[in-house]
Structure 1
Amino acid sequence: MKRTTFSLLVVDDDEDDRMIIDDAFLEIGYAGQVKKFMNGKMLFDYLEQIDPSFYPSLIVLDNTLPKMGAEDILTLLKESPAYQSIPVVVYTTSLSPSRQEKLLQKGVYACYQKGEVMEKVIELAKQLRELAESNSPKE
């Protein structure tokens, strides 16, 4: 049985935001490569049950998540030898320059602002797809 692999994992507790990003990835023909989670626990439960050969090429985190925020998730990812090489980006409604700098110092690859119009979300989806594809292992 062939397992489905996902190039990109998105963690966002807001259902509307998950639907919007889902629509954007659908629009660019990449929806089948994206798996979404509502919180960090679900992300780690998923990562722990898959073979390392199925690890994603990119993890996208909302900055403000309940219980385990982006910084907490990032710390756990970067401290784990199994996950530390997976690039992480933050996708959020608002982010102060000092908070962004702190996340970048902790190992976030990039920070992106959530788009208010669908065209901007589609452009971001394209950027995230390119980043995930550039980090995919070459066969």
Structure 2
Amino acid sequence: MNRQNYNLLLADDDEDDCAFFKEALDEIVVPADLVTVNDGVELMKFLAVNTLPDILFLDLNMPRKNGHECLTEIKQKEELKDLPVIIFSTSLDIEIVDKMYEKGATYYIRKPGDFSKLKKVIENALITASKNNFKQPARAEFILQP
């Protein structure tokens, strides 16, 4: 791995999901720092005034501005369009997955209910994204599994 430490941003309105993500991140071998925001409006404000994270983990179902709207806005802004965005959602609806791929998300993860699977999928996402130079893969490799 070519990076010492990843700066991650998690946009998710579910406090429990944020806490589990942070706990999982603390237990994996890939060093990373995490900042969380709780809705899409807060996310877009954060991206406008802070140093961009290495990777954004984006929940789709959030209040005020959802993940679909945020991804569209991110990919339309010149200063944000290259930000790697990993969709992190409870849904695995193939139509939604296809839309997120078309909109330019880097990867798609279905939130696992099991803590050990959550650790594996976060670690896998960071390692795979890094190996792939943070670029969107072929559609067949878009969904990451634990």
Offset at 1:130? 2.1
Structure 1 residue aligned with 2:81: 84
* Greater relative contact order (CA < 8 Å, ≥ 6 in sequence): 1
Q: 2:103 aligns with which of 102, 106, 110?
A: 106
* Partner Cα distance (1:46, 1:72) in 2: 15
1:8 Cα deviation (Å)? Answer: 1.2
Shift, 1:97, TM fit: 0.5
CA contact (8 A) 1:6 1:35 kept: no
For residue 84 of structure 1, give the secondary structure of its aligned residue in structure 2: coil
- For 2:71, the equivalent position in structure 1 comes to 74
Aligned to 2:22: 22
Query: What does residue 10 of structure 1 align with?
Result: 10
Structure 1 equivalent of residue 36 of structure 2: 36
Is this contact kept in 2: 1:57–1:133, CA < 8 A?
no
Task: Extract unaligned runs of 5+ from structure 1.
Answer: none
* 1:128 Cα offset (Å): 3.0
Which residue identity does 1:61 align to in structure 2? L
Aligned partner of 1:121 in structure 2 is 118
Once the two structures are TM-superposed, the CA of residue 26 in structure 1 deviates from its matched residue by 0.9
Question: Over residues 65-96 of structure 1, what are the superposed CA-to-partner deviations in whole Å (9 max), with x where a residue is unaligned?
Answer: 11211110001100100000001111111131
Deviations 1:23-71 (A, max 9, x none): 0001126675111110112122222222xxx311111111211121111
For 1:47, the equivalent position in structure 2 comes to 47
User: What is the TM-score normalised by the length of structure 1?
Assistant: 0.83
Q: Cα 1:131–1:42, aligned 2, differ >3 Å: closer, same or farther?
A: farther
Cα distance in 2 for partners of 1:76, 1:18 equals 23
TM (normalized to structure 2)? Answer: 0.79
Cα displacement (A) at 1:114? 0.6
Distance 2:67 2:128 in 1: 19
Question: Runs of 5+ in structure 2 lacking a partner?
Answer: 135-146
Check conservation: 2:29, 2:123, Cα contact below 8 A. no
Query: How much does 1:125 deviate?
Result: 1.7
One-letter code aligned to 1:128: A
Corresponding residue pairs, total: 129
Higher helix share: 1
Of residues 72-81 and 107-116 in structure 1, the stretch that sits farther from structure 2 once superposed is 107-116
SS of structure 2 residue aligned to 1:115: coil
